[in-house]
Homo-oligomer: A and B are copies of this chain.
Amino acid sequence: MKAEFINPFLEATMSVLKTMAFLEPIPGNPYIKKGGAASGDISGIVGITGEAEGSLCLSFSKGCILFIISKMLGEEQKEINEEVKDAVGELTNMISGDSRRRLQEIGHSFQGAIPSVISGPEHEVKHITRGPILSIPFTTQAGDFIVEVCFK
């Protein structure tokens, strides 16, 4: 995992949430982990190909995502319903696209696949790679979420 890959994903997450949900989540220190899984109540996952094969995953607690999507849709969301799942898919797509645009600017070309949204209390997402996984934690006033990126 190249260090220069960290900022495009971090900045894309901040930028998309600011634009879409008027939200400024506080990023924690990004760290590199070997193995392990992200857990959450809802996750957006999208595959990446091109210069290297990879995967991008955003995992949110229920409280955190209902807060974010309520702000995004301008209407209070009380449950993880179809509208919330679609909005998580849209956020995942936008963060994937914006990250890849930023990577392109520094000379790295990637394509994005179709995102999937996983829902289910405390599910785990494990990236199947022997390589390092970049983990970027974020804090909002309604709870934490995590952005994970891995490349082969």
A-B contact pairs, 25 of them (CB 8 A): A37-B119, A43-B118, A47-B47, A47-B113, A48-B114, A49-B49, A53-B113, A54-B114, A86-B128, A89-B126, A114-B127, A114-B128, A114-B129, A114-B150, A114-B151, A116-B126, A116-B127, A116-B128, A118-B118, A118-B124, A119-B123, A119-B124, A120-B121, A120-B122, A120-B123
Please tell me the number of chain A residues within 8 Å of chain B, measured between CB atoms.
41
A147 interfacial by beta-carbon distance below 8 Å: no
New A-B pairs, 9, CB < 8 Å, besides A49-B50, A55-B114:
A43-B118, A47-B55, A47-B112, A48-B113, A53-B112, A89-B126, A93-B128, A114-B129, A120-B123
